[in-house]
Structure 1
Amino acid sequence: MEFQNQTVFSEFILVGLTDDPELQPLIFSLFLAMYLVTILGNLLIILAVSSESHLHTPMYFFLSSLSFTDIYISTTTIPKILVNIQTQEHSISCTGCLIQITFALTLGGAESCLLALMAFDRYVAICQPLR
């Protein structure tokens, strides 16, 4: 009779930055501050581009789209990190991990395409300024 591996897992164990309970509030506040600054900065860029009529050009449209994508990339990972730090729960379900990776990779690809489009827009503006 041949033995087979019968291990079944339903979640991944996340290894944190530190196990020291005294540093957990500092790490939580650092991540929260960075997340809020990222969201606020990108929202200000979107608001400035949408409210000012002089900024309704392709370059600023791409910049606001890039800010929008950056908000979503940050929102796919940071809230789960904050919850894990606060609750001392160091796991994520397989489905949650798959969804998080799918969103992060898709949005990362979209951000790369936006950066390529922005570079092409600048190339056209420099090489053929009258178009």
Structure 2
Amino acid sequence: MNPNNEQALRAARQGRSICRWLEDVTITGSYVVATSASLYFDIPAGKQVVIPHAFVGCESANEFMAGYIVGCSAIAGGGSPTQFHHAMHDHVGAGKVGTGHVVEDFIPPLVLKYSEGHRSVSMAVKATDTGTVCTFGWCGWFEDEGTLS
């Protein structure tokens, strides 16, 4: 059993759960921080965001994509990004059937704190080239700083 399950359920019951993703979007060949409102989450003052899961998925045949969670120094995925883990990669061959997303479980979970200068959470992503279609996102919750639900 994942040790994050109890905390995630408690956060969901209290209305503090977060699930952000972008689906079937075209991304570039260089790492770019996604600034879509459906992906970033602004961290309220005095709070921290706990992220136990993230995923990436390449939707184009014979292509590649990669992504990672970033803490941003400004709201809405703006400012300077700080990478929080290694890049997750999804390679898709020419004979692609369906989608096979890569899911990363972080144990311990990632914790991004307002007091450490992070004003929002997003993802930086890149692909083989500018025509690659991808889906990516993350799930977690927010809570008072210094507590882990």
TM-score of the pair, normalised by structure 2: 0.22
* Greater RCO (Cα-Cα under 8 Å, separation 6 or more): 2
Structure showing greater radius of gyration is 1
The answer to which structure has the higher helix fraction is 1
TM-score of the pair, normalised by structure 1: 0.23
